[in-house]
Amino acid sequence: MAREENIVQELNSKFSFLEGKIRIQRQRRIFLEVELAHFKELFEYALKNMKFSLLSAMTGLDEGVNLGCIYHLASDDGVTLNIKATFPKENPQIQTITGYFPAAEIYERELIDLFGIEVQGLGPGNRYPLTDDWPKDEFPLRKDWKAKGGQDA
Amino acid sequence: MAGIKEMVNWARIKSPWILHFNTGACNACDIEIVASLTPVYDIERFGIQLKGTPRHADILVCSGPVTRQVEDRLVRIYEQMLHPKFVVAVGTCACSGGIFNGCYNVRSGIDKVIPVSAYIPGCPASPKAIIDGVVKLLESLKEENKGKIKLPITIK
Amino acid sequence: MHNSEEFKIPIGPQHPSLKEPVSFSVALKGEKIMGVGIRLGYNHRGIEKACEERTYIQDIYLVERTCGICSHSHATCFAQGVEDIAGIEVPIRARYLRTLVGELERIHSHLLWLGVAGHEIGFDTLLMYSWRDREVVMDILAMLTGNRVNYGINTLGGVRRDINAKQIKEVLKAVDALEERTKYYIEIASQETTVIKRLSGVGVLSKEDAVRLGAVGPTARASGVERDIRRDDPYAAYAEIKFDVITDNHNDVYGRTVVRLKELMECYKIIRQVLSNLPEGPVSVKVPRKIPAGETLSRYEAPRGEDVHYIKANGTEKPERVKIRAPTLANIQAVKRMLEDRYLADMPIVIAAIDPCFSCTDRLISLERLESKKKEIMPWVNLHAYSIEWHRKRGVDFTKLNKKWLRYFKS
């Protein structure tokens, strides 16, 4: 666990706002939470200084009052850094990370369609994965959304 | 006139052309359909050929639970086929939605959208079951079996 | 109740591709591709939502059917994640058996790919050969797990079936036979000039682009990017097994072919190790129905690349959140880059080369000819025929090759 502990130590010393917010879940799995305001500097640091070069996935979450997005980054030696950013459901706005990872576009479109998260900085493009005629205010993966009877219609 | 009708029917039974369409399945049934074309199962010995366009096909072989995206296209393909036409639902998802029954974005079964002539359940339907289903369908078209074998056919 | 008219999407000459979520809109200048837009969502069945409404055990079967070709990958990835959260130690024998089925799945998937790639370039004999060999693997899988596809061998805490000495012998016999056949395919790939000519220089993806665009699996490894979850982030029994991560520097479809063929040889190596070192012991442990609160990320090297599951548990018997990121989604951005500035005739094989896990049949291409501003639709089957004809005019002709190999095939 030396490698994971070194990573946690480095992040803690660099970013005081991470105090108490990082945990090592197991070998090669580090989870941390960050406020949206601090997300960008942490993300850039992880990419440029800590060699997390692969964006494995982006997971949208509905946590009741807040929505969240976990950015799953991976390094070449198999360590994953899972950064969770949360933001209020009333105003779910995040910045695109396609500047760092062009491939993130499809993951961000998924967040828009399924959770109703607004991604600033993403240009026009096709919806994914829902149809164009899917109602604009229905977000299937939110907790309060239930497949209505006749949803097959 | 009767002679031509018989000949057309004979051609249809002896060498039916099928169109394969996936309505949002996990691909397992589709791979099994393609596998039935390969040497070990070799559906071509029944004269069955896979064609690319609905205008040439007698039988529409469908897999998948019908997602919203695909529903209109499925109907369009069915309408483009010329009479008489038959639809074979391959796999449990195509028959009833299968494990995806009730999921949003899914219609839960091909017969909710177009009429089905033969149901071949299985997850996935094995190539043997697929061949069984198609051959039984063809048997039911033969003149001597008219009225004896009722559609739709269900393979057990 | 709605009628179908309420859901009509305007089909106009402007946007015919809106109806087809799996469609490519290609901007063409002459025969060169200037830009590609890809529309997905075709197979969206709402699996993640459905997972939240079912128990963990039910979810294994649901998640397995995300994809019919790499079903074991998804099921194992999911089971591993849940076991991780619950703090369950899976017995070593079960981990070895999961590895065995995983490698058998890789074999069947790569052979399937080989046939599909052969079909896309017009080398149909290769399709018949490789799928006939694939049936050997399907029979072995049916013998071990009870089903040809969607094996259902996983359960929470281990596997559902054990293997006996007789079955081990059968597997080893099959592996020996397949190894001979694979050497034969490697020979074709490395010596048949028609094959080499057709696949080289097509679908080029540089190493920098592969890293930047997040490519995974054989697509990335063929561009020299050494990423393999089995080695970098070991799971199941891989930490105890010796194998090589195959990379190649061709950066093109030929490289991807070579990588997959050599990976087949590694599969045989791994299977032999698994079976000769198979530890004794139980094949599963009991897992509580309610999984304690927690979260984890589970990663698995599926035949197509990195498969990622994020699972969050909340102390009940149903998960709070399940996120599945299948490998093809990670590779799809790379496809756009590979097609830029290339010929339309190369589209079928370039797309086939990432081994996409969406339906092979209904892909629609909408073309916009930039000079004339004309738009047209090309069904996949027409593009396929166009591609074969285009290359035939330039000296890459598989008709003679098909006849030549068919002679051996019939004997």
Question: pLDDT, tens digit, for every residue of C251-282?
Answer: 999 999 999 999 999 999 999 999 999 999 99
Q: Which chains touch B (3 or more CB pairs under 8 A)?
A: A, C
A55 in contact with C, Cβ within 8 Å: yes
pLDDT at B147: 63
CB contact under 8 A, C1 and A76: no
What ranges in C19-164 are assigned the alpha helix state H? 47-52, 56-64, 71-86, 92-121, 124-145
Nearest to B31 among C65, C66, C68 (CB): C68
Whose tokens are 């974005």? That residue is B105
A127 in contact with C, Cβ within 8 Å: yes
Longest dimension (CA), chain B: 50
Chain C nearest CA to A30, separation (Å):
9
B52 in contact with C, Cβ within 8 Å: yes
Contact (CB, 8 A) for C325 and C314: no
Taking CB atoms and an 8 Å cutoff, what residues of chain B touch A126? Answer: none
CB contact under 8 A, C149 and B124: yes
A23 in contact with C, Cβ within 8 Å: no
**Separation of CA C100 from chain center:** 17
A47 in contact with C, Cβ within 8 Å: no
Chain B nearest CA to A128, separation (Å):
11
Question: Is residue C302 scored above 60 in pLDDT?
Answer: yes
Name residue B129's beta-bridge partners: none
Q: Which amino acid is at A106?
A: I
CB contact under 8 A, C37 and A80: no
Residues 184-243 on C with a CB inside 8 Å of B are none
Give the residue among A7, A97, A13 at the shortest CA–CA distance from A52.
Answer: A7
Nearest to A56 among C1, C306, C333 (CB): C306
Taking the CB of residue C139, how many other CB atoms lie within 10 A of it?
A: 14
How far CA A39 is from CA of A54, A86, A88, A104, in Å, comes to: 17, 10, 15, 16
Which of C53, C357, C361 is the mutation pick for testing B, counting most B CBs within 10 A? Answer: C361
Nearest to C150 among B28, B30, B65 (CB): B28
CB contact under 8 A, B104 and A151: yes
Mean of the per-residue pLDDT values of chain B: 81
Token digits of residue B5:
């009708």
- Which of the two residues, C27 and C291, has the higher pLDDT score? C291
Nearest to B102 among A130, A140, A147 (CB): A147
> What whole-number distance in Å separates Cα of residue C238 and Cα of residue C230?
6
- Per-residue pLDDT, averaged over C130-136, amounts to 90
DSSP summary character for residue C269: H
For residue range C193-203, list pLDDT tens digits in order: 999 999 999 99
A58 in contact with B, Cβ within 8 Å: no
- Per-residue pLDDT, averaged over C129-143, amounts to 91
- Per-residue pLDDT, averaged over C156-179, amounts to 95
- Per-residue pLDDT, averaged over B8-33, amounts to 79
The ipTM value here is: 0.94
- Which of the two residues, C233 and B105, has the higher pLDDT score? C233
Whose tokens are 């899917």? That residue is A134
> What whole-number distance in Å separates Cα of residue B44 and Cα of residue C156?
42
Residues 127-186 on C with a CB inside 8 Å of B are 127-128, 131-132, 134-135, 138, 148-150
For residue range B134-148, list pLDDT tens digits in order: 888 888 877 667 666
- Per-residue pLDDT, averaged over C91-95, amounts to 96
> What whole-number distance in Å separates Cα of residue C248 and Cα of residue C265?
15
pLDDT at C379: 72
Backbone φ and ψ for A8, nearest 5 degrees, come out as -65, -40
Contact (CB, 8 A) for C42 and B69: yes
Question: Is residue C140 scored above 80 in pLDDT?
Answer: yes
For CA atoms C374, C379, C381, C384, give the dihedral sign: positive
Annotate C299-340 with three-state secondary structure: EEEECCEEEEEEEEECCCCCCCEEEEECHHHHHHHHHHHHHC
A24 in contact with B, Cβ within 8 Å: no
Backbone φ and ψ for C404, nearest 5 degrees, come out as -60, -50
pLDDT at C17: 30
In the structure, what pLDDT confidence band is assigned to residue B101 with cuts at 50, 70 and 90? Answer: confident
A29 in contact with C, Cβ within 8 Å: yes
- Per-residue pLDDT, averaged over C66-78, amounts to 90
Contact (CB, 8 A) for C377 and C19: no
Nearest to C297 among A80, A105, A147 (CB): A80
> What whole-number distance in Å separates Cα of residue C119 and Cα of residue A5?
50
Chain A nearest CA to C13, separation (Å):
17
> What whole-number distance in Å separates Cα of residue A56 and Cα of residue A72?
5
Q: Which amino acid is at B81?
A: M
- Per-residue pLDDT, averaged over B89-93, amounts to 91
pLDDT at B148: 63
Numbers of helices and strands, H then E, in chain C: 15, 9
In the structure, what pLDDT confidence band is assigned to residue C104 with cuts at 50, 70 and 90? Answer: very high
Contact (CB, 8 A) for A92 and A64: no
CB contact under 8 A, B68 and A134: yes
- Which of the two residues, C12 and A96, has the higher pLDDT score? A96
pLDDT at B41: 75
- Per-residue pLDDT, averaged over C378-385, amounts to 79
Highest averaged pLDDT of the listed ranges B7-16, C209-218, C324-333: C209-218
Give the residue among B136, B78, B103 at the shortest CA–CA distance from C49.
Answer: B103
CB contact under 8 A, B27 and C67: yes
Helix then strand then coil, in percent of chain A rounded to 5, is 30, 30, 40
A25 in contact with C, Cβ within 8 Å: yes
- Residues sharing a CB contact under 8 Å with residue C156, sequence separation 6 or more, in sequence order: C56, C57, C60, C79, C82, C83, C86, C88, C287
Q: Does residue B84 have a cis bond before it (omega within 30 degrees)?
A: yes
The H or E element that residue B90 is part of is strand B86-90
How far CA C50 is from CA of B105, C287, C321, C325, in Å, comes to: 11, 22, 10, 16
**Helix or strand or coil: residue A137?**
coil
In the structure, what pLDDT confidence band is assigned to residue C57 with cuts at 50, 70 and 90? Answer: very high
Give the residue among B155, B95, B153, B151 at the shortest CA–CA distance from B129.
Answer: B155
Residues 342-401 on C with a CB inside 8 Å of B are 357-362, 379, 381-382
- Per-residue pLDDT, averaged over C359-382, amounts to 70
Taking the CB of residue C358, how many other CB atoms lie within 10 A of it?
A: 21
pLDDT at A67: 94
Chain B nearest CA to A5, separation (Å):
41
Chain A nearest CA to C305, separation (Å):
11
> What whole-number distance in Å separates Cα of residue C247 and Cα of residue C241?
19
Question: Is residue B96 scored above 60 in pLDDT?
Answer: yes
pLDDT at B149: 65
Q: In chain C, pLDDT over 90 holds for what percent of residues?
A: 57
CB contact under 8 A, C4 and B123: no
Pairs of residues, one from chain A and one from chain C, whose beta carbons lie less than 8 Å apart: 97
Give per-10-residue mean pLDDT for chain A (153 aa).
92 93 94 94 94 93 94 94 94 94 92 93 86 86 75 39
CB contact under 8 A, A131 and B68: yes
In the structure, what pLDDT confidence band is assigned to residue B57 with cuts at 50, 70 and 90? Answer: confident
> What whole-number distance in Å separates Cα of residue C264 and Cα of residue C110?
7
Q: In chain C, pLDDT over 70 holds for what percent of residues?
A: 91
